[in-house]
């Protein structure tokens, strides 16, 4: 099957071809014809499956028949709204809209928190047909009178499960109450828990279903390996691997912002160009870190879980879990940064004795034992006893006894909380969504 067989406009096919893509991914092949028919859709797809193009291309086509080149805001009422959980995903989606819609007379913009609201207000007042937004900032603009939804035709909730995880359900319900009936609704989610199904039932009307990957599974293109090591030697092992293998582009995950900063500083002392990215970094800092990483001027990007969902880097070869996440599903989101769009990737996890319970939870979720490899000269010391890993929320801990220090040797005792307005900046990769 090729994109030519999906019934897309020549202008869209031209834009797709210019990106070098000829064969649609499974979610694109299934979802595009359904959306073109105007049906509601519930799509089960993780990032890396091509889901952004799967809804962007048919959305552009359905809006194109009313396209115009007028400069009047009244002629550019919002006709499609895409809600995303984070600013980086909003940017990726809107860049995808621009990329594929470059030959169509449709306007788009993105709005999200954490930045000056005035340029966003100016863009909205100029008029756009397609708006990509995070829920919190969308409500800010609506309350200021910058938005009107009377002409809305299409609503897309992207990564709906993540939006619920981040506490956006109240904002989403408020937004839904503002929208006109009779619109087309598309809901994309990597997981489908009870709350998501409840939302889908209230939102979707006789929806078609597309499910391209089993729930909570890691892509087969990612080679996973557990590297047992003592907590105090993790950084030494990481530096050794990066230098000796060698590893040219590595995304490393820690549990906390403090841990990310500390590890990045230590890698720099080891002669490895590194930078940290997390919710406390300013927007310019995030943009520079990602641009430098993609350009190859820094070798290692150290990130917290807040970056795990939206971060998108073409053909990223290596992901390293310097510390295992508290939530098993976050492991899948982390390693999903590699092995994207048909390219192979590697995910290494440096696991100390403190993290055995976390590892067992991950293996239980994956329904398999992960392969393990002990690196010579980094064999774990069997005399070292496990210490609990202190959770950030409510002071809960995992481990054999209360008290103690966090695992990995570098974490603080608080985990980073997700925030709607504190996300890192990313760029889109059309096939990577």
Token pair, residue 21, equals: 């893509």
Helix, strand or coil for residue 429? coil
Helix, strand or coil for residue 261? helix
Give the other-Cβ count within 10 Å of 413's Cβ: 15
**Closest to 411 measured CA to CA, from 393, 392, 429, 396:** 392
Q: Are strands 80-83 and 130-133 parallel, antiparallel or unpaired?
A: parallel
Residue 344 neighbours by CB under 8 Å, 6+ apart: 221, 222, 223
DSSP string, 317-335: -EEEESS--SSHHHHHHHH
Burial 24-41 (b: 16+ CB within 10 A, else e): bbbbbbbbbbbbbeebbb
Give the span between the Cα atoms of 29 and 307, in whole angstroms: 29
Cα three-residue angle 192-226-350, rounded to 5 degrees? 100
Give the span between the Cα atoms of 433 and 426, in whole angstroms: 12
Ordered by where they begin, the domains of the chain are: 3-215 (3.40.50.300), 222-398 (3.40.50.300)
0.75 surpassed by pTM: no
Token pair, residue 161, equals: 């499960």
Residue 170 CB-density burial (10 A; 0-12 exposed, 13-18 middle, 19+ buried) = exposed
Q: Is 154 left (phi over 0), alpha (psi -120 to 50) or beta?
A: beta
pLDDT in tens, the chain (433 residues): 789 899 999 999 999 999 888 889 889 999 999 999 999 999 987 766 788 999 999 999 999 976 555 556 666 789 999 999 888 889 989 999 999 999 999 999 999 988 899 999 999 999 999 999 999 999 999 999 999 999 999 999 998 988 887 788 889 999 999 999 999 999 998 777 778 888 899 999 999 999 875 555 555 678 899 999 999 999 999 999 999 988 889 999 999 889 999 999 999 999 999 999 887 777 677 778 888 888 889 999 998 876 555 566 667 889 999 999 988 878 887 887 776 655 678 999 999 999 999 999 999 988 899 999 999 999 999 999 988 876 543 333 333 333 333 333 333 333 333 333 333 333 333 444 4
| Placement of tokens 């210019």 in the chain | 18
């Amino acid at each position: 099957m090729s994109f030519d067989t999906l019934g897309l406009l020549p202008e869209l096919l031209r834009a797709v071809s210019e990106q070098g893509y000829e064969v649609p991914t499974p979610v694109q092949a299934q979802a595009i014809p359904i959306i073109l028919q105007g049906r509601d859709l519930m799509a089960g797809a993780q990032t890396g499956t091509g889901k952004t193009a799967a809804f962007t291309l048919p959305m552009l086509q359905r809006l194109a028949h009313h396209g115009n080149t007028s400069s009047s805001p009244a002629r550019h009422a919002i006709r499609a709204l895409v809600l995303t959980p984070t600013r980086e995903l909003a940017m990726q989606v809107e860049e995808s809209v621009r990329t594929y819609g470059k030959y169509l007379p449709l306007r788009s913009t993105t709005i999200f928190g954490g930045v000056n609201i005035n340029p966003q207000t100016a863009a909205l007042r100029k008029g756009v047909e397609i708006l990509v937004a995070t829920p919190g900032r969308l409500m800010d603009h609506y309350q200021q009178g910058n938005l009107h939804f009377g002409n809305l035709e299409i609503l897309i909730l992207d990564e709906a499960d993540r939006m619920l995880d981040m506490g956006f359900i109240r904002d989403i319900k408020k937004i839904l109450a503002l929208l006109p009936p009779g619109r087309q609704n598309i809901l994309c989610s990597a997981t489908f828990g009870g709350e998501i199904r409840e939302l889908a039932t209230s939102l979707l009307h006789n929806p078609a279903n597309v499910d391209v990957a089993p729930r909570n599974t890691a892509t087969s293109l990612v080679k996973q390996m557990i590297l047992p090591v003592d907590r105090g030697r993790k950084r030494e092992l990481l530096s050794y691997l990066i230098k000796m293998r060698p590893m040219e582009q590595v995304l490393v995950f820690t549990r906390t912002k403090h841990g990310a900063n500390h590890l990045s500083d230590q890698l720099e002392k080891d002669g490895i160009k590194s930078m940290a990215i997390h919710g406390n970094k300013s927007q310019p800092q995030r943009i520079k870190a990602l641009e430098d990483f993609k350009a190859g001027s820094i070798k290692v990007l150290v990130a917290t879980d807040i970056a795990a969902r939206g971060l998108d880097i073409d053909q990223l070869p290596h992901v390293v879990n310097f510390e295992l996440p508290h939530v098993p599903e976050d492991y899948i989101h982390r390693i999903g940064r590699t092995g994207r769009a048909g390219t192979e990737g590697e995910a290494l996890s440096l696991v100390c004795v403190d993290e055995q319970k976390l590892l067992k939870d991950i293996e239980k979720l994956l329904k398999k034992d992960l392969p393990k490899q002990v690196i010579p000269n980094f064999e774990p010391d069997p005399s070292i006893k496990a210490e609990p890993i202190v959770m950030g929320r409510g002071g809960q801990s995992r481990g054999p006894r209360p008290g103690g220090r966090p695992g990995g040797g570098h974490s603080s005792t608080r985990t980073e909380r997700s925030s709607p307005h504190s996300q890192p900046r990313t760029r889109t990769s059309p096939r990577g969504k």
